[in-house]
Structures are given as C-alpha cells and as structure tokens.
C-alpha cells in the first residue's frame, strides 16, 4: 500500500447566507441583548424562527483518501464546492467539522501572482511571491534563472510590474508557482490564464512537475481536456458531496452523463414566461416522428419547438445551442437566421423545425439547449443556465466511402466535395 498524502474524515464547511451581522454595532448590540432576553431577533424576516436556518453546507460531510503521487482532478459544476474543498485543504478557510490529515508540505495555488505589487520590479515580486508561497530566499536565488527563462521576461525583470503587459504579468506569476518545490500541489484554475500557447506550455510544465517528482496533485479546472491530460484519478462533487471517485476518464464520463441525465427530465411548464408557453421541445426525423437514437450520421435530425405565443415582441428570437460532450458549444441557431418576411411567429400555437444537417456533426453525444431572448435586450431562456436540454447521440453512417467508417478526430465530420482531374476551373481546389 502506498502512503497516504491527504486523508479527510467527515469534513464539512458551513456558510451562513446573507448578512452575518448588520454591520452596525448598535444594531448588533441591540439584537444580542434581545436574544439574551429571549425576544425575537429584529433583523429576522417575518416568519423566520431563527438565524441558523439561513445557511448551507458548501462541503457536506465528505471523506476521502489521496495516496502519495496521485494526481487527482476535482470536477463539478460552479458552486459544487470544488474551490471550497481546496481552500479547506490549504488552510485558507476553516473547517466547520471533521478533520484532515496531511503528510508532506503543501504548495497551494488558488491563484497565481498572489501578493504581486505593481510598484515593485519583477525580481522583487518573485522574491515576495515565492516567500508567501513558502520558499526560502536561497531556493528562490537558485531558481531565479529558471523562472526568468520560463516566463520569457528576460531583460524586463528589473522593471516594475505595473509596466508589464497582462500576458507578461501572468507568465511571471505562473513561473514562480511552477518552480515551487512541494510534496503536494493544489491548483485551482491556474491554467485559465494567458493565451492558448502559454496555457499549453503551462500544462506541459505542470505535467512535468507532477510526473517527474512523483508529487501529489489536486487540480480543479473547468477545462476537461486539461484535467484529463494532467490527472489520472478524479473526484466528482455536487452540492458539497462526493458523487463519484474513480479514474479520471470514468469521472469525466460519469459527470457528463450526470449533467445531461438531470437535464433531460424536463418539466416544460417550468419554462413558462410572459412571452410564450413551451408546449413541446424534442428531436424528430424527416417524417416528424420521434427520433430513434443513436442516429446515423447520414440521417437528418430536426429540433422541434412547439410554442404558444402569448405576446409578440419585434426583437423576440428563439432557437437552440448545441454542445459536445466536453461542454464546448458547437454553434447557436435561431429561427430568425433563415430570415424571410413570411416566417414570422404568430400569436397562439407555432411549430418550429430547425434542421440539423446530415454529414455535419461528428460521432458523439451532443446536448441541445433551448435558447430564447429579446435580441440584445434580455434572456428569456439562457442556454448556459437553466434551459431545457435534449440529447443527441450520433453513431455510424459517417460516409458511403469504405475508407471512412470509423470516427475521426474533429468537431465536425462533413463529407465534402473533391474533384480529380476536372478540366472545369470552377471546381478546381483553391478557387
């Protein structure tokens, strides 16, 4: 058995909602006095019994063990408790209950560049930031060249960082963090900075650090690719509870399944609003019948939206947004895209059909979210928040060619036109 690096036992973190106190001493003192006298708290809303009920468990009684050398990705939606968990382990926030045991020293990067001061030079900031993260002066001296090289700051290192571009700033900040020596590394979205090429380099550096030195890594990111590349096991959190702990691939798959499963159970009346009543939202085939899934890529699919329009607004648009299983948006489409005068929505019942072309998307699982808004005015149904969702599973039927029967990489899998030795210049490639 390998040694345990981190062990959490029934840990919990409770946050009180709203105001902790009124922020004014007089009111607080008065309430405290009333409380002592057994009277009702004046700041409570009518009907509330006591203050204690307004709170929630950001981390709700979870236990886990992480072995030394494990690289663990923590996944979950916003507000699932990922960052809180990292804060608890790195001792920035206090536990409400349970206990955590840690072997080895921790470097926690809840953010890069903490403590950077704009007035100080790059070099001074490296010393300060390094020291805040727990490095000794001698260590920093030893690593200074490496830090400067990685950040590509070079001769600007002795310039105050307020004169840096934001890219330089972030590179320098990351370079310090990446050169930390520690047994356990905790990183929260630190890769979500810098441009794409830097992110790639940063990910490479993180990988090198964790594999080379066998250190334990706890990593939070919304970029599933980054998590997949860096970690080999995962923890899925939801509402402060662990709903899954497995290999990273299993976790990501499970998490995505969990997300879509929850969303396909729809209560359409939930989406009623002042503009329309949603009567139906589904996928159908060319004949208007319910789609048989998985769908072959040679077949067309239609998104069918049935509405009862209650109020006509000239800026009203409705359509859908489609995402792949990594949560990346493939495209948005609105009924108004295919604009014609006669295609106006009328009051009362409307049936909209949006075509998803065949030979267009790649094999895989897709989520289709309803999207409706007053153009540039307000969301009615925001596809990125609480929108009804359909699942589309495409498998097989990629092409008629014997050379293309298996899935290729790529977001799309279109069957495109080619010409071979065609004398007609209009079809020549490049024109």
Partner 1 sequence: MNFDDQKWDTVIEPKQKWFSLNIKQIMEYKDLIFLFVKRDMAITYKQTILGPLWYIMEPACTSIMCLIVFRNIAGLSTEGVPPILFYFAGMVLWTLFSKLLLSESKVFSDNQYIFGKVYFPRLTVPIAVFFGELNRLIIQFLLFALLYFVCIMKGYPGAISLKMLLIPAIFVWVSIQACGLGLIISGVTTKYRDLAKALTYLLSLSMYLSPVAYPLSEVSVGMRVFYELNPLTAALECFRKLCFGNGDISPGAIAYSVVCSFVFLLAGVLVFHKNEKSFVDVI
Q: Least distance (Å) from partner 1 to the CB of residue 103?
A: 5
Half-sphere exposure of 128 (CA within 13 A, CB side): 16
Question: Based on CB atoms, which residue is closest to partner 1, 7 or 313?
Answer: 7
**If binding is defined by CB under 8 A, does position 23 make contact with partner 1?**
yes
Give residue for tokens 């940063």. 202
CA–CA–CA angle 110, 210, 254 (5° rounding) = 75
- The yes or no reply on residue 424 touching partner 1 (CB under 8 A) is no
Q: What is the smallest separation between the CB atom of 394 and partner 1, expressed in angstroms?
A: 43
Closest approach of Cβ 107 to partner 1, in Å?
Answer: 9
Q: Which of 78, 94, 165, 287 binds partner 1 (CB under 8 A)?
A: 94
Give the residue with the Cβ less far from partner 1, 87 or 171: 87
Residues 297 and 80: their CA atoms lie apart, in Å, by 36
Which residue from 93, 203, 266, 309 is in contact with partner 1, where contact means CB under 8 A?
Answer: 93
Give min distance, CB of 15 to partner 1, in A: 7
Q: How far is the CB of 361 from partner 1 (least distance, A)?
A: 41
Question: For tokens 């947004």, what's the residue?
Answer: 321
3-state SS, the chain, equals CCCEEEEEEEEEEEEECCCCCCCCHHHHHHHHHHHHCCCCCCCCCCCCCCHHHCEEEEEEEEEEEEECCCEEEEECCCCCCHHHHHHHHCCCCCCCEEEEEECCCEEEECCCCCCCCCCCEHHHHHHHHHHHCCCCHHHHHHHHHHHHHHHCCHHHHHCEHHHCCHHHHHHHHHHHHHCCCCCEEEEECCCCCCCHHHHHHHHHHHHHHHHHCCCEEEEECCCHHHHHHHCCEEEEEECCEEEEEEEHHHHHHHHHHHHHHHHHCCCHHHHCCCCEEEEEEEEECCCCCECCCCECCCCCEEEEEEEEECCCCCCEEEEEEEEECCCCEEEEEEHHHCCCCCCCCCCEEEEEEEEECCCCECCEEEEEEEEEEECCCEEEECCCCCCCEEEEEECCCCCCCCCCCCCCCCCECCCCCCCCCCCCHHHCCCC
Least distance from partner 1 to the Cβ atom of residue 189, Å: 12
- Residue closer to partner 1, measured from CB, 61 or 285: 61
8 Å CB contact between 317 and 372: yes
Q: Residue 414 is encoded by which pair of tokens?
A: 């279109």
Nearer to partner 1, 65 or 355 (CB): 65
Tell whether residue 101 is a contact of partner 1 (CB under 8 A): yes
- 122-181: contacts with partner 1 (CB under 8 A): 124, 127-128, 131-134, 136-137
CB of 236 to partner 1, least distance (A): 23
Of 35, 39, 99, 257, the one binding partner 1 by CB under 8 A: 99
Q: Tell whether residue 88 is a contact of partner 1 (CB under 8 A).
A: yes
Q: In this complex, which beta carbon is closest to partner 1, that of residue 133 or of residue 387?
A: 133
Instruction: Decide if residue 98 touches partner 1 (CB under 8 A).
Output: yes
**Distance in angstroms (rounded) separating the CA atoms of residues 109 and 193:** 13
Query: Using the rule CB under 8 A, is 108 a contact of partner 1?
Result: yes
Residue number, 106 or 283, with CB nearest to partner 1: 106
Least distance between partner 1 and beta carbon 29 (Å): 11
Least gap, CB of 67 to partner 1 (angstroms): 13
Angle made by CA atoms 305, 308, 313, in degrees to the nearest 5: 95
Q: Which stretch binds partner 1 (CB under 8 A): 73-81, 119-127, 385-393, 422-430?
A: 119-127
* Residue 117 within binding range of partner 1, rule CB under 8 A: yes
> Binders of partner 1: how many residues, by CB under 8 A?
45
Pick between residue 216 and residue 297 the one whose CB is nearest to partner 1: 216
The C-alpha atoms of residue 197 and residue 213 are separated, in whole angstroms, by 24
**To the nearest whole angstrom, how small is the minimum distance from the Cβ of residue 100 to partner 1?**
4
At closest approach, how far in Å is the CB of 93 from partner 1? 6
Comparison of 74 and 89: residue with beta carbon closer to partner 1: 89
Contacting residue, 2, 18, 25, 403, with partner 1 by CB under 8 A: 25
Q: Tokens 């329309």 — which residue?
A: 276
Nearer to partner 1, 127 or 198 (CB): 127
* Sole window of 87-95, 252-260, 290-298, 322-330 interacting with partner 1 (rule: CB under 8 A): 87-95
Residue 15 touches partner 1, criterion: CB under 8 A: yes
Q: Contact residues for partner 1 (CB under 8 A)?
A: 4, 7, 9, 15, 20-21, 23-25, 88-106, 108, 110-111, 114-115, 117, 119-120, 124, 127-128, 131-134, 136-137
């Amino acid at each position: 058995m390998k040694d345990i690096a981190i062990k959490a036992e029934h840990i919990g973190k409770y946050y009180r909602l709203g105001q902790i106190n009124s922020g004014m001493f007089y009111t607080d003192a008065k309430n405290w006095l009333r409380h002592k006298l057994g009277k009702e708290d004046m700041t409570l809303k009518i009907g509330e019994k006591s203050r204690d009920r307004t709170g929630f468990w950001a981390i709700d009684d979870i236990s886990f063990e992480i072995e030394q050398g494990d690289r663990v990705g923590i996944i979950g939606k916003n507000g699932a408790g990922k960052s809180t968990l990292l804060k608890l382990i790195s001792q920035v926030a206090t536990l409400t209950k349970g206990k955590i045991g840690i072997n080895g020293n921790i470097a926690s990067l809840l953010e890069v560049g903490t403590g950077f001061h704009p007035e100080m030079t790059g070099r001074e900031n490296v010393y300060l930031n390094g020291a805040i993260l727990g490095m000794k002066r001698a260590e920093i001296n030893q690593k200074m060249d490496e830090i400067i090289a990685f950040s590509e700051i070079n001769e600007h290192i002795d310039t105050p960082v307020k004169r840096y571009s934001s890219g330089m700033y972030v590179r320098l900040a990351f370079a310090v963090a990446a050169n930390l020596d520690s047994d356990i590394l905790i990183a929260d979205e630190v890769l979500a900075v810098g441009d794409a090429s830097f992110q790639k380099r940063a990910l490479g550096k993180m990988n090198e650090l964790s594999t080379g030195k066998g250190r334990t890594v706890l990593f939070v990111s919304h970029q599933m690719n980054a998590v997949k590349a860096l970690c080999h096991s995962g923890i899925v959190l939801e509402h402060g509870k662990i709903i899954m702990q497995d290999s990273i691939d299993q976790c990501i798959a499970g998490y995505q399944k969990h997300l879509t499963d929850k969303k396909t159970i729809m209560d359409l009346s939930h989406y009623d609003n002042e503009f329309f009543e949603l009567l139906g939202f589904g996928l159908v085939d060319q004949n208007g019948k319910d789609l048989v899934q998985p769908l072959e890529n040679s077949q067309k699919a239609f998104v069918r939206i049935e509405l009862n329009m209650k109020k006509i607004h000239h800026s009203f648009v409705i359509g859908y947004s489609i995402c792949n299983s990594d949560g990346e948006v493939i495209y948005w489409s609105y009924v108004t895209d295919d604009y014609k005068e006669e295609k106006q929505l009328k009051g009362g019942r409307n049936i909209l059909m949006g075509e998803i072309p065949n030979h267009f998307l790649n094999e895989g699982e897709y989520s289709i979210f309803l999207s409706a808004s007053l153009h540039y005015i307000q969301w009615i149904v925001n596809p990125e928040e609480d929108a009804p969702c359909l699942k589309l599973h495409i498998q097989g039927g990629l092409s008629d060619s014997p050379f293309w029967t298996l899935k290729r990489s790529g977001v799309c899998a279109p069957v495109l036109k080619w010409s071979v030795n065609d004398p007609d210049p209009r079809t020549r490639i490049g024109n």
